[in-house]
Amino acid sequence: MVYIIVHTCTWLIMARYLIFSVVLIFFSGVRPISGKPNIIIMMMDDMGWGDLGIFGHPAKETPNLDQMAAEGVLMTDFYSANPLCSPARAALLTGRLPIRNGFYTTNQHARNAYAPQFVVGGIQDYEILLPELLKKAGYKSKIIGKWHLGHQPQYLPLQHGFDEFFGSPHCHFGPYNDKGTPNIPVYRDGEMAGRYYEDFVITKTGESNLTQLYIQEALDFITVETQLASPFFLYWVPDSAHQPHYASKHYLGTSQRGLYGDVVRELDDGVGQILSHLQHLGIERNSFVFFTSDNGAPLNAKADGGSNGPFLCGKETTFEGGMREPAIAWWPGTIKPGQVSHQLGSIMDLFTTALKIAGLSPPSDRIVDGTDLLPNLVNGTIDSAKPIFYYRGNEMMAIRIGLYKAHYWTWTNSLQEFEKGVNFCRGENVTGVMTHQQTNHTDAPLLFHLGRDPGEKYPIEQTTQEYKEVMPMIMRVVGNHKEKLVPGQPQLNMCDWAVQNWAPPGCEKLGECLPIPKSHPYKCSWPH
């Protein structure tokens, strides 16, 4: 299958990597297939369910992702574990809910929290990450893009199983003045290679070649590991779809959708290049590839944003628009082409599924929330009893089983924020469902049938036979979940300006170390 590839010239891609790739491909040819399948997880940042042509976006600007779906399985009911970036990423790599792995806060009730550079905490050593386990089966692992599980040295990827790292501990916020706040570093393995906006330029118009660097890094890694006949795990997590958006010069102004559309087109092209490269090397039938996003598209911006399709609200909320994600599984020769799956799935399932592909089992000394998706992806088997829990901070806000979703709590954001223009459900208003104060429905949860009502607009009346039959079953599942729940130590409670990226490892080699201010720890404040 030939993918649609757009060739670009990117002025900052280092020549040595291009030359290395060309020479290696020329001499290596098609490599023998390794016994263990390669695993590639592509997770986008803030990309919505409705951004893909295959999910109905009218612009139809994702030809490679649409082709990937045509050759694999399109999952229509796939979820994040949280409506925000850091907790979702921690959940994927541990296979555990953020409430278990510590990526939440107890400073306020039901607040979204993440890992900006002033947060003290990060992923703890007692959490076992996917690359640590895959290493036992001989896998080489690389993360390319956004980490977001802590930036202090003990939290960085190479301390948690990854062999290689090219990307950043954070999102590309900035630019900063390097006085009150330092510009965020980009790492090459264990040391910084520069900083955003200084060494890795993002202009005010949104021009940057970072995505092209991330694509080339992926192609190089695949080439090298194929030459070595080594099974590999590639965690490809570009962040250009997160505001402030950026795209390389070749893509700027090419989309009907503005800058965000330019971003989506470039990411789609990157997916196409990676899949084509697997085919060129003859390893596509020995490579499991999964595409998804970390949370729903944010709707706060009045323009230049993503789409969550027919679903209510967006990022930061536990309505469908905040947590239902685009998802495609691709494995030629193992996964039949042209399939559509309605199996409930979660990014935590990628942890267990990847282990199963590698011939491993999840750790037995802890609760792992992720389940194996292979029975569904390969054989079409449906687990109709599988629940999806919607957490916001330390609170279980909702649960889905089958086509039913019950909201135990509802909240978009505070009225004070809303009146200042912060709106996570812009253009939408569902009275009694969208609330600007934390509303407890535990005694009589709001129940929706997502088949009839995917937009969560019409709660099922409590007096109906349907409600009376469904809610006791849901309540039993929730009761069992909460009875066995042992929350992890919260990592997103404490902040300190002194822990910011003033002097990351390797800064002295670049002459980019900055003075570290005096430490003043304080409780982080999370507004929503």
CATH number at residue 214: 3.40.720.10
Asked whether residue 17 is assigned to any structural domain, the reply reads no
pLDDT at position 9: 36
CA-based diameter of the chain, in Å? 72
Do 267 and 134 share a structural domain? Answer: yes
CA distance 65 to 46: 16
Using a pLDDT cut of 70, give the percent of the chain over it. Answer: 94
- Yes or no: say if 216 and 13 are a contact pair by the CB < 8 Å rule: yes
Q: What is the pLDDT of residues 198-237, one digit of tens each?
A: 999 999 999 999 999 999 999 999 999 999 999 999 999 9
For the segment 310-332, what is each residue's pLDDT rounded down to a tens digit? 999 999 999 999 999 999 999 99
- Verify that 52 and 156 share a domain, yes or no: yes
**Residue 254 in this model has a pLDDT that exceeds 70:** yes
3-state secondary structure of 352: helix
Beta carbons of 261 and 61 less than 8 angstroms apart = yes
> Which one, of 289, 292, 285, lies nearest residue 1 by Cα?
285
For residue range 82-96, list pLDDT tens digits in order: 999 999 999 999 999
Count of CB atoms within 10 A of residue 201's CB? 16
Q: 338 and 214, same structural domain?
A: yes
The better pLDDT of the pair 461, 14 is held by 461
Rounded mean pLDDT, 476-488: 98
Q: Which letter, b or e, does each residue of 161-173 get, where b requires 16 or more Cβ atoms within 10 Å of its Cβ?
A: bbbbbbbbbbbbb
Label residue 55 by pLDDT band (50, 70, 90): very high
Contact predicate 49/324, CB 8 Å: yes
Which of 485, 441, 435, 480 lies closest to 462 in space, CA to CA? 441
Task: Tell me the whole-structure pTM to 2 decimals.
Answer: 0.94
128 Cβ contact list (under 8 Å, min separation 6): 94, 363, 366
End-to-end CA distance of the chain: 46
The verdict on residue 358 lying in a domain is yes
pLDDT surpassing 80 at residue 30: no
Predicted pLDDT of residue 4: 42
* 85, burial (CB in 10 Å: exposed 0-12, middle 13-18, buried 19+): buried
Has residue 395 got a pLDDT over 50?
A: yes
pLDDT category at 28 given cuts 50, 70, 90 is very low
Specify whether 127 is located in the same domain as 75. Answer: yes
On whether residue 504 sits in a domain, the answer given is no
Q: How far apart are CA 300 and CA 46, in angstroms?
A: 12
Final residue of a structural domain among 383, 415, 431: 383
Confidence of residue 303 (pLDDT cuts 50, 70, 90): confident
Number of structural domains (the chain) is 2
> What mean pLDDT is predicted for residues 373-390?
98
Distance between CA atoms of residues 295 and 79, nearest Å: 8
User: Same domain, yes or no, for 368 and 396?
Assistant: no
Q: Of the ranges 6-10, 123-127, 435-439, which one carries the lowest mean pLDDT score?
A: 6-10
User: Same domain, yes or no, for 369 and 414?
Assistant: no
Assess if residue 19 is contained within a domain.
Answer: no
Looking at the fold, whether 334 and 424 belong to one and the same domain comes out as no
Are 373 and 401 within one domain? no
Q: Given this model, what pLDDT does residue 10 score?
A: 38
- The token pair that represents 443 in the structure block: 């005694």
Q: Could you give the CA distance from residue 94 to residue 248 in angstroms, rounded to a whole number?
A: 33
Residue 400 shares a structural domain with residue 347 = no
- Read off the tokens for 467: 């409600």
| Whether pLDDT at 79 is above 60 | yes
| Judgement on whether residues 300 and 437 belong to the same structural domain of the protein | no
Answer whether residue 522 is part of any domain. Answer: no
Instruction: Count, in order, helices (H) and strands (E) of the chain.
Output: 13, 21
Evaluate whether residue 119 is within a structural domain.
yes
* Mean pLDDT to the nearest integer, 265-287: 99
* Catalytic center residues: 85, 148
What average pLDDT does range 58-64 have in this prediction? 96
The 10s digit of each residue's pLDDT in 137-162 is 999 999 999 999 999 999 999 999 99
**Is residue 258 assigned to a domain?**
yes
Residue 35 confidence (pLDDT)? 83
CATH number of the domain to which 411 belongs? 3.30.1120.10
Q: Which domain holds residue 77?
A: 38-383
pLDDT score, position 21: 44
Cβ pair 245, 260 in contact under 8 A: yes
* Token representation of residue 32: 């023998």
192 falls within a domain: yes
Whether 162 and 281 map to the same domain: the answer is yes
Residue 232 shares a structural domain with residue 136: yes
The total of other beta-carbon atoms located within 10 Å of residue 16's CB is: 8
Angle at 80 between CA 305 and CA 240, to 5 degrees: 35
pLDDT of residue 6: 40
Contact of 145 with 236, CB cutoff 8 Å: yes
